[in-house]
Chains A and B, each alone.
Chain A
Amino acid sequence: MADAVALERGLRLVGQRVIRHDARDKVIAATAYAGDWAMPGMLHGVVVRSPYPSARIRSLDTAPAAAMPGVAIVITARDVPHNTLWTDVPGQTTEVGPLRARLHVLAEDRVRHQGEPIALIAAETLEQARDAAEAVDVDYEPLPGVFDAAAALEPGAPAVHDAGNLLAHWTVKRGDVAAGFARAEVIVEGEYRTQLVDSAYLEPESGVAWIDSDGVITIRLSTQVIEHFRDVAEVLNVPQNRVRVIGAYLGGGFGGKEDVTVEVYLGLLTWKTGRPVKMVWTRQESLLARAKRHPYRLRYRTGALRTGEIVAQEIEILGDSGGYAYLSALVLLYSTVTAAGPYRVSAASVDARVAYTNNPPTSAMRGFGGMQTVFGYESQMDRLARTLGLSPLEVRRVNAIRRGDALPVGQVIETYVALPELIDRAWAGLGEPTRSRAPHLKIGRGVACNLQPYGRIVWLHDWSSAWVGFEMDGSLVVRCGCPDVGGGQASSLCQIAAEVLGVALERVSVHIADSALTPLAGTTTASRQLYMSGNAVLKASRELRDQLLAAAARLLDADADALEMADDAVHATDGRSLPLVELLRACARMGVARSHLGVYHAPAGEPVDLEKGSGKVFPDYTFGCHAAEVEVDTQTGVVRVLKLVAAHDVGRAINPQSVEGQIQGGAVMGLGYALMEEVVVQDGINLTTSFASYLIPTASDVPDVDPLVLESGEGLGPFGARGIGEPPIAPPAAAIANAIEDATGVRITQLPITPERVARALGLVVDPQ
């Protein structure tokens, strides 16, 4: 990393494996999750959902339900002041045009996926609410549906929405692709399929709402986005400052709590009844109705020279959005930008489409479209290596993108790219090859690299804010609107403030995620909170330090530059010191503020024309490389991952233990995606609405992931940090598929890689006819 920046040295807390304050609360179960909340006299709310994936609502009779014991209210679409939520997607470059995608709060005359919300009920007890839900009389006329993205785009396909089934279409054309393929000495082609998967956080969607003593509608829930208070206000048609969202510490999010979940329903029920209301979705409901990760069909055609140098890429992507748009157009944009991987290519075309179907809706999930493409481009890299007789490592080294290179969309990478080191370290991390235990158990190894943006699209003009202030006893308070999904977001903010202001971590209290009382910090999505809110806290802390040191300089008759804050005191280079508490008292007398509000604005830009490759889409990217060693049972098709080494350049690890946790947890989620997870849908009906049928990895299913943390110091976050929440989930599927080919010679192109698929590829299963 000769040309990377130097890490800032001499830090006291940043870079330390500190114990998170929230972990202390969680091991004694003191943390009050959204569902661990109760209000006196509260009602229990439930959602009535469509059993059909495609139907017209002929009539809806709520009277029998409303007459049931204990029922306080039944709400349908016509009772909702403003029944539409919008997703705006500026900058789209195709015939679809700028998108304003609609989502109904409650279905009006048409349902487009199984589980679509039809009505809301609140009753004195949960049983009464559930009984009443059964009594809502809906007369459905089932309609023909379409359950495959390709079929949805065929002429004559049933229209999911009136404007047609093509939801979004992004294209990129860079260089002369035809000339690139003409120059190529070898061309490899592949088609890959990825599946529908669920976030499957342990904590279901939940919350409690009440009207506070000041008349403000207050909703305390599990959400990654407290800014949805604005959506609640719009739906209720009340001023935005009359709605307050409090974000509890989450029991997992992974993108599934980025769109609205219970808050709009709770807002409606509490506003209409005037009473507190609790809503907790069942696991079955969560697996049935929540937006999931898009299944993709990916087609790659890659041209290269004999040296391995890629000279042309032609990529087609087709995704399935399910019944509604949610964030699909943006997810597809991430796929479009990352489609060619972290590799130089002078000529590339990407054609990416996402279609409406009557399948379960899809939206944000960890990786956000940057994940599916890895299975495509990293399978291609191994195919290329195999065709050319080169090592998979060499093909990647030859093509690895470097600072100053541009992605096919035209964005020039401005920071150091550590791919060569990451590839070497991940591979070396596998250690000595495991010896096969029996002739039918084949051992193989594979690698996969990736790039993942962190921070939001530059034309969204992202910002975060945080307030940092001292109390008179020298204890420190941080206020920041950042929700904590469990990754240690809040704890890292404390670490940064304590570092700059020279106090012990134990003396910091942090208040997070309250739209009324904490400065807004934006969403805990897009691997952005450490980057964005970390920078906001850093800025607030540094400016607070500067104003306090200016006061101390006057008191000590010293130069402010010669003072530093450490150990609850201000120290001068000549050995004199001033206790922090004395300084704070003096500041109070002198009228010097003991707090500061910091606002951080990310690098911004205007919407780019992707097709022309006109420039920057994301602030920066995180790069990684995973290496896997697998054992394939060639009699049964069972694949066991023996080793998984996950190397990422995190820029700077603020808390290395949290960073390792993100890498290990993300990689295991990626391993579930590779081998076992799939939401099975038949004609729009979800067959996997239980943890007994939707399988996520257990401790016995996975090896200990070896996290390799590389710190280039090149990130845009505080102290050079990069985002690391999403990146580790993406590479395992391709690394495992590549290892399986190394072991057995067969290439698996469809996820998940079940024993059945492997057995078929090995010729162990022969279908009749």
Chain B
Amino acid sequence: MRLSLTINGRSRDVDVEPHRTLLEVLRDTLGIFDVKEGCNEGVCGACTVLLDGRPVSSCLVLAPTAGSRAITTVRGLEGGGELHPLQQAFLRHGAVQCGFCTPGMLLTALAFLERHPGADRETLRHAIEGNLCRCTGYAKILDALEYYARG
């Protein structure tokens, strides 16, 4: 079926089979590799994208259901060549090691912080529990989120 997806503000037309997941269409059909595949069963959070500003595991979303909605990947966070302040906070606080969880982690956290500005560390800890990280032990990710949340 013919599908028009709005990805980071730009419209992309694709032919997809109706059973394809959004993750498959983004990575395999469109070559948008900033969305990662970690488990393909909705547990790890690596494939997180924002649908109309809400984080979803793109491996659990059928692509046709995303047709009328705004899809944001981590590439959509930069503005005018500048890193998003949350990306800068990740750098400043050493929140990145292997980086495989980073795109999903950034998007989940950003969506949460937009709804809960100024959230404290313990709240943020629970907000990212659906995004697994095997490298950092989460402390420096929380350092970055807390720094950003405090403005």
Residues of chain A at the chain B interface (Cβ within 8 Å): 17, 19-20, 22-29, 31-33, 35-36, 38, 126, 199-204, 249-252, 254, 280, 282-283, 485-488, 657-658, 660-661, 664-669, 690-692, 696-702, 704-705
Interface residues of A: mostly helix, strand, loop or mixed?
loop
Q: A664 near B139 (CB under 8 angstroms)?
A: yes
A697 to B44, CA, bound (A): 11
Quick one: closest B residue to A657, CB to CB?
Answer: B94
Quick one: closest B residue to A126, CB to CB?
Answer: B28
A667 to B137, CA, bound (A): 7
Q: A696 near B132 (CB under 8 angstroms)?
A: yes
From known contacts A27-B102, A33-B100, A203-B100, infer whether A690 and B90 are also in contact, taking CB-CB under 8 Å.
no
Q: B91 near A203 (CB under 8 angstroms)?
A: no
Q: A485 near B98 (CB under 8 angstroms)?
A: yes
B103 close to A (CB within 8 Å): yes
- List the B side residues contacting A485 at CB < 8 Å: 98
Quick one: closest A residue to B28, CB to CB?
Answer: A126
- List the B side residues contacting A696 at CB < 8 Å: 132, 134
Q: A698 near B129 (CB under 8 angstroms)?
A: yes
Q: A664 near B41 (CB under 8 angstroms)?
A: no
Q: B132 near A202 (CB under 8 angstroms)?
A: yes
Stretch at the interface among B32-40, B63-71, B111-119: B32-40
| Of the residues A250, A252, A661, contact of B140 by C-beta under 8 Å | A661
B58 close to A (CB within 8 Å): no
Of B40, B96, B141, most A-chain CB atoms within 10 Å = B96
- List the B side residues contacting A282 at CB < 8 Å: 40
- List the A side residues contacting B44 at CB < 8 Å: 202, 283, 691
Which residues between 28 and 61 of chain B lie within 8 Å of chain A, taking CB atoms?
A: 28, 31, 33-34, 36-41, 43-44, 46
Residues of chain B at the chain A interface (Cβ within 8 Å): 28, 31, 33-34, 36-41, 43-44, 46, 73-75, 77-78, 83, 87, 90-92, 94, 96-103, 106, 125-126, 128-142
Q: A29 near B140 (CB under 8 angstroms)?
A: no
From known contacts A29-B75, A251-B36, A702-B137, infer whether A203 and B98 are also in contact, taking CB-CB under 8 Å.
yes
Q: A486 near B126 (CB under 8 angstroms)?
A: no
Quick one: closest B residue to A282, CB to CB?
Answer: B40
| Of the residues A27, A126, A201, A697, contact of B106 by C-beta under 8 Å | A27
Q: B139 near A31 (CB under 8 angstroms)?
A: no
A664 to B91, CA, bound (A): 17
A658 to B96, CA, bound (A): 9
Quick one: closest B residue to A644, CB to CB?
Answer: B137
- List the A side residues contacting B131 at CB < 8 Å: 699
Q: B97 near A486 (CB under 8 angstroms)?
A: yes
Quick one: closest B residue to A19, CB to CB?
Answer: B91
Quick one: closest A residue to B145, CB to CB?
Answer: A699
| Of the residues A24, A201, A698, contact of B98 by C-beta under 8 Å | A201
Q: B91 near A27 (CB under 8 angstroms)?
A: yes
Quick one: closest A residue to B103, CB to CB?
Answer: A29
| Of the residues A29, A200, A664, A666, contact of B74 by C-beta under 8 Å | A29
- List the A side residues contacting B126 at CB < 8 Å: 699-700
Q: B34 near A29 (CB under 8 angstroms)?
A: yes
Quick one: closest B residue to A664, CB to CB?
Answer: B137
- List the B side residues contacting A28 at CB < 8 Å: 34, 74-75, 77-78, 83, 87
Q: B100 near A251 (CB under 8 angstroms)?
A: yes
CB distance from B101 to the nearest CB of A (A): 5
A485 to B125, CA, bound (A): 25
A639 to B36, CA, bound (A): 33
Q: B90 near A250 (CB under 8 angstroms)?
A: no
CB distance from B76 to the nearest CB of A (A): 10
- List the B side residues contacting A664 at CB < 8 Å: 136-140
- List the B side residues contacting A280 at CB < 8 Å: 37
A28-B34, A665-B97, A696-B132 known; 6 other A-B pairs, CB under 8 Å? A17-B94, A28-B83, A254-B134, A280-B37, A667-B137, A700-B129
| Of the residues A200, A204, A705, contact of B134 by C-beta under 8 Å | A200
Q: A698 near B99 (CB under 8 angstroms)?
A: no
- List the B side residues contacting A705 at CB < 8 Å: 137, 139
Quick one: closest B residue to A700, CB to CB?
Answer: B129
Q: B140 near A660 (CB under 8 angstroms)?
A: yes
Of A202, A249, A661, most B-chain CB atoms within 10 Å = A202
Q: B43 near A690 (CB under 8 angstroms)?
A: yes
CB distance from B120 to the nearest CB of A (A): 13
| Of the residues A249, A690, A700, contact of B39 by C-beta under 8 Å | A690
CB distance from A674 to the nearest CB of B (A): 13
| Of the residues B31, B134, B141, contact of A201 by C-beta under 8 Å | B134
CB distance from B50 to the nearest CB of A (A): 14
A130 to B130, CA, bound (A): 29
Q: A699 near B97 (CB under 8 angstroms)?
A: no
Q: B139 near A26 (CB under 8 angstroms)?
A: no
A254 to B98, CA, bound (A): 11
CB distance from A658 to the nearest CB of B (A): 7
4 interchain residue pairs of minimum CB distance? A486-B98, A26-B99, A251-B100, A29-B34
Q: A29 near B98 (CB under 8 angstroms)?
A: no
Q: B129 near A252 (CB under 8 angstroms)?
A: no
Quick one: closest B residue to A26, CB to CB?
Answer: B99
A696 to B136, CA, bound (A): 13
Of A20, A23, A29, A251, most B-chain CB atoms within 10 Å = A29
- List the A side residues contacting B78 at CB < 8 Å: 28
CB distance from B78 to the nearest CB of A (A): 6
Q: A283 near B137 (CB under 8 angstroms)?
A: no
Q: A702 near B138 (CB under 8 angstroms)?
A: yes
- List the A side residues contacting B103 at CB < 8 Å: 29
Q: A283 near B94 (CB under 8 angstroms)?
A: no
Quick one: closest B residue to A670, CB to CB?
Answer: B137
- List the A side residues contacting B125 at CB < 8 Å: 699-700
